[in-house]
């Protein structure tokens, strides 16, 4: 880090710098010499931490790291205003950047975080919002019942609840043969009878999951209403198949991917309600503090929701197309539900904090 000569600075071999420039250069040299020992110590500590040789870092060095970082950052700020040594400035900028990641950067890699997330972090977060999940479950059951009863009382409600173009032959008044064909065979266009509706249902449920979480900030009320409205659609479709005596077959068809997909909606709704309930009833905390704490926990749950929706898409796109008999569909759907319940609520490999 040797400072450039005055001749180099002034472009002449034997140039004599003005007195003020010479004084500034001396101050720059003195500035570097007075602090260089701390910079070197910080660089050694950072290099050991970057290489993963934690055992070679003493306790004194660990304790000194934050202070050394602040000293280097302060030196960088001064150097930017005063130093004539470009090499010193570049050195400090690199050192401060490297030290920042060691002081404030993430402590683990993305792979390590993901392993801890799947190994207990997600399930702990879900167990922490059990009350909100129960509220979401009640809203979903209520929505299904409301949709079923509305269509049972007046078939015109079916077209109000189910978007046009997605009902097709699956509408009030359809024959048993037509409905049975949609569940077990291919339609006239060569596609599975309910493939269009299933694709719509997945796309719709993915949007509902995101909105149910995002709208939770309004004290959870929009999330509850959204869950009711979404499940009313399913209740309307259930009435159509039940009226034809095919309710069991329809539930089996839906269970293949629905136990995963609807579970994901349940968790997303619970996460949104959790944020809203925390803001409405913050307890001893401030509203912002309660929202921040619940938001971290809910964000972990939503990460799990995204993974569940991806798995549901694979089940809907492949498994449901290959398995067409009702008992096998129930076995697949029931197995997936048992796996999720065991993972979230029964298996507790570690005692983790949900908002960690």
How confident is the model over 289-306, as pLDDT tens digits? 888 889 889 999 999 999
Shared domain check, 148 and 268: yes
Q: Which of 85, 104, 123 is the last residue of a domain?
A: 104
Shared domain check, 209 and 152: yes
Question: CB–CB of 298/267 below 8 Å?
Answer: no
From residue 165, how far is each of 136, 169, 171 by CA, in Å? Answer: 29, 10, 11
Residue 48, classed as helix, strand or coil, is helix
Note whether residue 212 is domain-resident.
yes
Note whether residue 351 is domain-resident.
no
- Structural domain span for residue 42: 6-104
Note whether residue 164 is domain-resident.
yes
Shared domain check, 206 and 117: yes
Note whether residue 43 is domain-resident.
yes
> Given pLDDT bands bounded at 50, 70 and 90, which one contains residue 144?
very high
pLDDT reading at 152 higher than 90: yes
Mean pLDDT of 117-123: 85
pLDDT reading at 3 higher than 70: no
Burial class (CB in 10 A: 0-12, 13-18, 19+), 140: buried
- Of 215, 209, 355, 231, which is closest to residue 273 (Cα–Cα)? 215
**Which has more confidence, 126 or 12?**
126
pLDDT at 30: 75
Note whether residue 354 is domain-resident.
no
The pair of structure tokens assigned to 204 is: 């719709």
pLDDT at 354: 39
Shared domain check, 181 and 149: yes
Note whether residue 340 is domain-resident.
yes
Report the percent of the chain where pLDDT is more than 70. 80
Q: Which of 80, 104, 128 is the last residue of a domain?
A: 104
Shared domain check, 117 and 60: no
Shared domain check, 320 and 234: yes
Shared domain check, 166 and 290: yes
Shared domain check, 198 and 53: no
pLDDT at 19: 54
- Of 337, 344, 280, 303, which is closest to residue 210 (Cα–Cα)? 303
Alpha-carbon distance of 316 to 303, in angstroms, equals 20
Tokens 């930017």 belong to residue = 80
> Given pLDDT bands bounded at 50, 70 and 90, which one contains residue 149?
very high
From residue 41, how far is each of 80, 83, 190, 343 by CA, in Å? Answer: 21, 21, 72, 48
Q: Within the chain, what is the greatest distance between any pair of CA atoms?
A: 104
Shared domain check, 120 and 99: no
Q: Helices 247-280 and 326-341 sit at what angle, rounded to 10 degrees?
A: 20
Q: Which of 104, 121, 153 is the last residue of a domain?
A: 104
Shared domain check, 159 and 305: yes
Note whether residue 353 is domain-resident.
no
Q: Total structural domains in the chain?
A: 2
pLDDT at 342: 92
Most confident of 9-13, 80-84, 210-214, 250-254: 250-254
Shared domain check, 122 and 96: no
Shared domain check, 117 and 39: no
Note whether residue 211 is domain-resident.
yes
pLDDT at 198: 61
């Amino acid at each position: 880090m040797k400072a450039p000569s005055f001749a180099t600075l002034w472009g002449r071999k034997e140039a004599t710098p003005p007195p003020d420039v010479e004084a500034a250069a001396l101050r720059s040299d003195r500035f570097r010499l007075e602090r260089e020992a701390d910079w070197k110590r910080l660089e050694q500590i950072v290099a050991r931490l970057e290489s993963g040789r934690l055992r070679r870092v003493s306790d004194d060095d660990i304790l000194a790291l934050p202070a050394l970082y602040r000293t280097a950052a302060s030196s960088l700020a001064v150097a930017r205003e005063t130093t004539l040594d470009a090499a010193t400035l570049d050195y400090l900028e690199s050192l401060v950047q490297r030290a920042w990641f060691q002081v404030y950067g993430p402590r683990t890699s993305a792979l390590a975080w993901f392993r801890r997330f799947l190994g207990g972090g997600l399930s702990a977060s879900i167990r922490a919002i059990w009350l909100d999940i129960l509220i979401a479950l009640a809203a979903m059951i209520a929505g299904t019942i409301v949709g079923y009863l509305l269509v049972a009382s007046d078939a015109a409600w079916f077209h109000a609840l189910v978007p046009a173009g997605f009902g097709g032959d699956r509408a009030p008044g359809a024959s048993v043969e037509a409905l049975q064909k949609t569940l077990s065979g291919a339609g006239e266009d060569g596609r599975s009878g309910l493939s269009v509706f299933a694709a719509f249902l997945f796309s719709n449920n993915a949007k509902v999951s995101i909105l149910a979480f995002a709208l939770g900030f309004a004290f959870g009320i929009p999330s509850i209403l959204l869950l009711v409205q979404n499940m009313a659609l399913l209740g309307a479709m259930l009435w159509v198949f039940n009226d034809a005596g095919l309710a069991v077959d329809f539930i089996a068809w839906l269970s293949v991917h629905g136990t995963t997909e609807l579970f994901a909606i349940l968790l997303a709704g619970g996460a949104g309600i959790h944020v809203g309930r925390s803001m409405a009833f913050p307890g001893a905390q401030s509203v912002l503090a309660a929202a921040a704490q619940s938001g971290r926990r809910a964000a972990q749950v939503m990460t799990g929701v995204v993974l569940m929706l991806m798995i549901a898409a694979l089940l809907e796109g492949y498994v449901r197309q290959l398995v067409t008999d009702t008992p096998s569909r129930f076995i697949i759907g029931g197995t997936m539900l048992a796996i999720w319940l065991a993972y979230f609520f029964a298996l507790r490999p570690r005692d983790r904090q949900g908002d960690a």
